[in-house]
Chains A and B, each alone.
Chain A
Amino acid sequence: MRRPLSAFAAIFSSGIAAAGCLRTEFKFFYFTGLIFLILSLISFKGKNTFSICLSLAVFALGAAALKNSLDLAKNHVSHFAYYQNNKTYTITGVVKSEPVSEGRNCKFLLEAASVEYGRSKYNCQGKTLVKLNYPQNLLYGDELILTGTLHRPYKGAEAFSYRDYLERQGVYCLMNARLAKLKRHRPSLTAAALFIKHKMEKAISDNLSREAAGIMLAMVLGDKREVSPLITGMMVKTGTVHILVVSGFNVGIVAFISILFLKILRIAQIPRYILTIFILIIYCLMTGSSNPVMRATVMGVFFLAGFLLEREPDIYNALSLAALFILLNNPRQLFDIGFQLSFASVFAIVWIFPKLSAFLKAERLKNKILKLTAQVLLVSLSAWVGTAGFIAYYFRIFTPATVLANVFAVPLATLITLCGFSLVFTSLVLPGFAPYFGSVSEAVIAILLKLNTWIASASGAYCYLSG
């Protein structure tokens, strides 16, 4: 088999999807998987029997992985949280996400280690989303003692359940904390990556207007907090909202810049690729390790490792490895919109684009500009075909303007991202030049927004689906 990883990823994902629909317990899938594994060992030399048994074992493994992830430990922190529970708890734990200020509050994920109420103290585990009732300069990796109330997130009546969303991230309870005491800071690679991120944020915010900085921060660092919901809404209508998410495209730019920069520093090929892999991992941590970034980072590392090992990398295998990497870590991500859109769009580009290009003979165009435009159009069309079903299902919107909008949005987004990285780099090395890089970024962002507004207001650009 030329692409064993693709087959494994597809079968493993099917197992997760099937387990999502069935109420069967973990033990059933686990022991069924074990039986098929033994059968595949017995039929080791038989070609078809071995393949069938191994496939069924991987299928059961996927199902078991999901059931296992749904089964919470007995001392999970969420067991202390009940609806309308006003007991005051004291929790000791470590900050596991970048603390975000929201008005007078501060939000972050806490990996709980122990919980106390009254005179009882228990060891516990699991993440809780903390809302601290006053702003405080907390950092990733801080070990804290928090006092407050625990409760479970409400499901809500809307199609997108906040509770389901949090559970997919492994968060089953919320804490309203009133008091926080810092025990110590635990240094980590993520904390270092977030420190670099703050420096980059400052460089961007200092040189751009608030609106443009919000968009630049989303595109370069994956931080969408400052983007107005109006701009997001407008981009959803034109199908260009993907440019506000850090994805493979950004990871590719980071890899390209890193390789080029290290080459200029005359660093030999092998250490250059190893350093680039390290930079990609840092960038992944900086941007919050979301599904699209994780996918792109795993694919990027796979490709670079392929060069190091002198093996020709296969894009389908790289994509499958990325899927397996994410799903083995958290099988519930299969049901996440971000995961589905990210993999569907890349798969569609990789699979549909070459076929469309060959069918329409785009490669034969002699005029370079025409050829490039045709390629951008076909890539955009392929991605749209791959994701239209998911977008219609989740967002109840059909966006025919996507193909046209992306023809200009993608090149402009490339330019904005390049300008963003240049701006950050210049502000560190030659701060006097940074405002000029800022002017170019500002202008390109303004043009992107104006074109988007224009397309979104055209009749037939989008339509809402009923239901």
Chain B
Amino acid sequence: MFNLTQDERKVTLFLVALVFIGFGISFAAKRSEYLKKILVTDVDTGKLNLNEISREDLLRLRILNPKLGEKIIAYRSKKGPLSSLEELKSIKGINDKRVKELEKFFYLR
């Protein structure tokens, strides 16, 4: 019935297999929150704990300018672990807008 060459068969099989897997994933993601967590890219992927991040890691990320990075590290060393990112507003140069930006990259635990 299917008069396909070897290469055509490979391509067809690959595409049909992808559709099958896609169906399976969309079905599974609807039924199980656990599977959804595994199979869908997490918005928080890669987010770092600001209470644990090393000085070197923070400065290398280039999210903040080095001076501000140093100020955050100094604040953390002086006051201990942060309980909220809002606390950082007491550092000169960090305002509401900056805190919102930082929320995209860091979490606290």
| A interface with B by C-beta (< 8 Å) | 208-212, 215, 228-231, 233-234, 260, 263-264, 418-419, 422, 426, 433, 435-440, 442-443, 445-447, 449-450, 453, 464
Contact partner of A437 (CB less than 8 A), chosen from B11, B19, B48, B61, is: B19
Residues of A within 8 A of B5 (CB): 263-264
In the bound complex, CA of A464 to CA of B26 (Å): 41
If A211-B43, A436-B25, A439-B21 are given as contacts, then 13 extra A-B residue pairs at C-beta distance below 8 Å, sorted by A number, are A230-B45, A231-B45, A233-B60, A264-B7, A264-B8, A426-B15, A436-B22, A436-B26, A440-B21, A442-B25, A443-B25, A446-B41, A450-B45
Contact partner of B41 (CB less than 8 A), chosen from A209, A418, A437, is: A209
A263 and B7 contacting across the interface, CB-CB below 8 Å: yes
Residues of A within 8 A of B75 (CB): none
Taking the closest CB of chain B, its distance from the CB of A238, in whole angstroms, is 12
The answer to whether B39 has its CB under 8 Å from any CB of chain A is: yes
Taking the closest CB of chain A, its distance from the CB of B17, in whole angstroms, is 9
A439 and B43 contacting across the interface, CB-CB below 8 Å: no
The answer to whether B38 has its CB under 8 Å from any CB of chain A is: yes
Known: A440-B18, A440-B25. A446 touches B39 (CB 8 A): yes
Interface of B, secondary structure class, is helix
Known: A442-B39, A446-B42. A230 touches B48 (CB 8 A): yes
Residues of B within 8 A of A435 (CB): 22, 26
Taking the closest CB of chain B, its distance from the CB of A181, in whole angstroms, is 33
- Name A216's closest neighbour in chain B (CB-CB): B41
Residues of A within 8 A of B41 (CB): 208-209, 211-212, 215, 442, 445-446, 449
Taking the closest CB of chain B, its distance from the CB of A119, in whole angstroms, is 42
Taking the closest CB of chain B, its distance from the CB of A68, in whole angstroms, is 34
- Name B35's closest neighbour in chain A (CB-CB): A443
Residues of A within 8 A of B15 (CB): 422, 426
Contact partner of B39 (CB less than 8 A), chosen from A211, A233, A443, is: A443
- Name B104's closest neighbour in chain A (CB-CB): A228
Interface residues as binary, B1-45 with A (CB distance below 8 Å gives 1, 0 otherwise): 000010110010011001101110110010000000011111101
In the bound complex, CA of A246 to CA of B56 (Å): 29
Taking the closest CB of chain B, its distance from the CB of A253, in whole angstroms, is 12
Residues of B within 8 A of A449 (CB): 41-42, 45-46
Contact partner of B22 (CB less than 8 A), chosen from A228, A438, A445, is: A438
Residues of A within 8 A of B22 (CB): 433, 435-440
A436 and B62 contacting across the interface, CB-CB below 8 Å: no
B38 and A422 contacting across the interface, CB-CB below 8 Å: no
Residues of A within 8 A of B42 (CB): 211, 446, 449
Residues of B within 8 A of A446 (CB): 38-42
A233 and B45 contacting across the interface, CB-CB below 8 Å: no
Taking the closest CB of chain B, its distance from the CB of A432, in whole angstroms, is 10
A233 and B40 contacting across the interface, CB-CB below 8 Å: no
| B interface with A by C-beta (< 8 Å) | 5, 7-8, 11, 14-15, 18-19, 21-23, 25-26, 29, 38-43, 45-48, 56-57, 60-63, 104-105
In the bound complex, CA of A443 to CA of B35 (Å): 10
Residues of B within 8 A of A212 (CB): 41
In the bound complex, CA of A440 to CA of B5 (Å): 26
B19 and A229 contacting across the interface, CB-CB below 8 Å: no
Residues of A within 8 A of B56 (CB): 464
In the bound complex, CA of A438 to CA of B26 (Å): 10
In the bound complex, CA of A13 to CA of B5 (Å): 46
In the bound complex, CA of A215 to CA of B41 (Å): 10
In the bound complex, CA of A440 to CA of B105 (Å): 26
Known: A230-B61, A436-B18, A437-B22. A209 touches B40 (CB 8 A): yes
In the bound complex, CA of A418 to CA of B25 (Å): 18
A442 and B46 contacting across the interface, CB-CB below 8 Å: no
A229 and B61 contacting across the interface, CB-CB below 8 Å: yes
Taking the closest CB of chain B, its distance from the CB of A233, in whole angstroms, is 5
Residues of A within 8 A of B48 (CB): 230
Residues of A within 8 A of B29 (CB): 439
Taking the closest CB of chain B, its distance from the CB of A403, in whole angstroms, is 22
- Name A425's closest neighbour in chain B (CB-CB): B15
- Name A438's closest neighbour in chain B (CB-CB): B22
- Which of B42, B47, B48, B61 lies at the interface centre, i.e. has the most chain A CB atoms within 10 A of its CB? B42
Taking the closest CB of chain A, its distance from the CB of B1, in whole angstroms, is 17
Taking the closest CB of chain A, its distance from the CB of B5, in whole angstroms, is 8
Residues of B within 8 A of A210 (CB): 43
Residues of A within 8 A of B60 (CB): 233, 464
B26 and A234 contacting across the interface, CB-CB below 8 Å: no
> Can you name 19 A-B pairs with beta carbons within 8 Å?
A228-B46, A228-B104, A230-B46, A230-B47, A231-B46, A233-B57, A233-B60, A233-B61, A263-B7, A418-B14, A426-B15, A436-B19, A443-B21, A443-B25, A443-B38, A446-B40, A447-B39, A449-B45, A453-B45
Known: A264-B8, A437-B18. A229 touches B38 (CB 8 A): no
Residues of B within 8 A of A208 (CB): 41
Contact partner of A211 (CB less than 8 A), chosen from B14, B19, B45, is: B45
- Name B46's closest neighbour in chain A (CB-CB): A230
Taking the closest CB of chain A, its distance from the CB of B51, in whole angstroms, is 15
